[in-house]
Amino acid sequence: MSQIFLAVAVVVAQGLLLLAMGFALVRMLRGPRAQDRVLALDAFQVNAMLLLLTIGLRVGSALYVEMALVIALIGSAGTLAFSKFLLRGEVIE
Amino acid sequence: MRRLLPHPWMAALLLVVWLLLRHSLAPGTWVAGGLLAWILAWTYGRLAPPPARVRHLPTLLRLFARVAADIVRSNFAVARLVLGRRRRVHAGFVAIPLALTDPHGLALLACIITSTPGTIWVEHDPQRSVLLIHVLDLVDETVWVEAIKRRYEQPLLRVFQS
Amino acid sequence: MSALPPWLAVLVGVLVLAGAGFACVGSFGLLRLRNFYQRVHAPTLGSTLGTFCVVLACALGFSALQGEALPTVLLISALLVLTAPVTLMMLVRAALYRNRLEDGQALPSARGDDQKPMP
């Protein structure tokens, strides 16, 4: 019984995370200015990372967790680079 | 000792991260991680960071516990604000005069304020020592000024500047 | 996943649901709130309590399965705690700079030129 609850909970959570990625995608496409798009991209990456974690939990494989770690690393570095670019128009001064 | 290993805590942290990444405690991992940690700690020293001295560890730990509780509480507050029926959200900027000047204390304060949903660090002027934050649920400015100063700045002053 | 004891399975399920719920509400805030400075607050929900719940669920699940993922999961949470505020602050600085320079908006500044709050 509890196993069924866990399976259903993970699937529902994945649905919610996909919905969240959809929200972020809409803001990315609509966002009036570049900073809105970068903010939405950051949220999109966090949601994708969480989705990978839930997939890893469902499959029981540590590989997905490593992928989530890579997204967490690359995502934050990417957002930082975008922000730096918006600040001055150059990434490295 | 200091000359051989400039930043022992930074090196230890890097070594732990390396061991966690490799999922192993084999001798080779220790050697490679130790070497990497030593080189990176030396590189960190070349950046000439201002020296940090934590003067009151219990206060710092209590502050972390308080911040964790505040993050959970404001998560619910912001969720209620996003899902709420109210169309107009009353957000705005708040200027806070600070007594804190230590760079590490300010960095920690910045991370605390920004990690808490609903408040974000915007700007700090070191000359006038004024901090500008943006608050999502701004009802009364003085309440926010008083809360930030009492809840976060006082402990940080005790930890870094007493 | 079938090796978990019942109480742990329920706990992991509730945590995963809560984390995904917070992340979803945070992203919904991106659509719902009306200007950039309000929207900046929304994704913090996903990167604090959302991530924390899912990471805790993974840590519990994988430690019960004796998986190798536990250290990585801990690293993810530590990394996000450190980087999320820094990237957000940087983004707000960039937005402030652009709004002042290109849009000519009268935004308040820490130097005290203009204390008028933006709606």
Residue C50 lies in a domain: yes
ipTM of the prediction: 0.86
Summarize pLDDT for A23-55 with one digit per residue, the tens.
999 999 987 888 899 999 999 999 999 999 999
Residue C109 lies in a domain: no
In terms of CA atoms, which chain C residue is nearest residue B112?
C85
Q: What is the pLDDT of residue C117?
A: 43
Average pLDDT over residues C9-17: 90
Interchain CB distance below 8 Å, C86 and A17: no
Question: Which residue has tokens 């930074």?
Answer: B10
Residue B51 lies in a domain: no
Residue C112 lies in a domain: no
All residues at 6 or more sequence positions from C90 whose CB lies less than 8 Å from its CB, including other chains: A79, A80, A83, A84, A87
Nearest neighbour of C90 by CB, restricted to A47, A58, A80: A80
Residue B119 lies in a domain: yes
Distance from CA of A93 to the nearest CA of C (A): 15
- Number of domains chain B is built from: 2
Average pLDDT over residues A49-62: 88
Residue C40 lies in a domain: yes
Distance CA C64, CA C12 (A): 11
Q: What is the pLDDT of residue B1?
A: 58
Residues B64 and B123 in one domain: yes
B57 shares contact with chain C (CB less than 8 Å): no
Residue B2 lies in a domain: no
Residue B52 lies in a domain: no
Average pLDDT over residues A78-86: 89
Taking contacts as CB-CB distances below 8 angstroms, the residues of chain B near C82 are 111
Residue B87 lies in a domain: yes
B155 shares contact with chain C (CB less than 8 Å): no
Q: Buried b vs exposed e over B42-64: b needs ≥16 C-beta within 10 Å?
A: eeeeeeeeeeeeeeeeebbeebe
Q: What is the pLDDT of residue B85?
A: 75
Residue C48 lies in a domain: yes
Distance CA B61, CA C4 (A): 34
Nearest neighbour of C48 by CB, restricted to B117, B119, B138: B117
Q: What is the pLDDT of residue B102?
A: 85
Interchain CB distance below 8 Å, C45 and B122: no
How does residue C119 score in pLDDT terms, banded at 50, 70 and 90? very low
Distance CA C110, CA C96 (A): 12
Which of the residues C44, C79, C90 would you substitute to probe the B interface, choosing the one with the greatest number of B C-beta atoms within 10 Å? C44
C13 shares contact with chain B (CB less than 8 Å): no
**3 state DSSP class of B133:** strand
Q: Which pair of structure tokens corresponds to residue B18? A: 């390396």
Return the axis-axis angle of helices B154-161 and B57-83, rounded to nearest 10°. Answer: 150
Interchain CB distance below 8 Å, C54 and A72: no
How does residue C116 score in pLDDT terms, banded at 50, 70 and 90? very low
Summarize pLDDT for B76-100 with one digit per residue, the tens.
988 888 888 776 778 888 888 888 8
Per-residue pLDDT at C118 exceeds 50: no
Could you list the residue range(s) of the whole structural domain that residue C76 is in?
6-103
Per-residue pLDDT at A16 exceeds 90: yes
Which of the residues A2, A44, A63, A70 would you substitute to probe the C interface, choosing the one with the greatest number of C C-beta atoms within 10 Å? A2
Question: Which residue has tokens 């005290």?
Answer: C112
Summarize pLDDT for C54-85 with one digit per residue, the tens.
999 988 888 877 666 777 888 888 888 888 89
To the nearest whole number, what is the mean pLDDT of chain C?
82
Q: Where are the domains of chain A?
A: 2-88
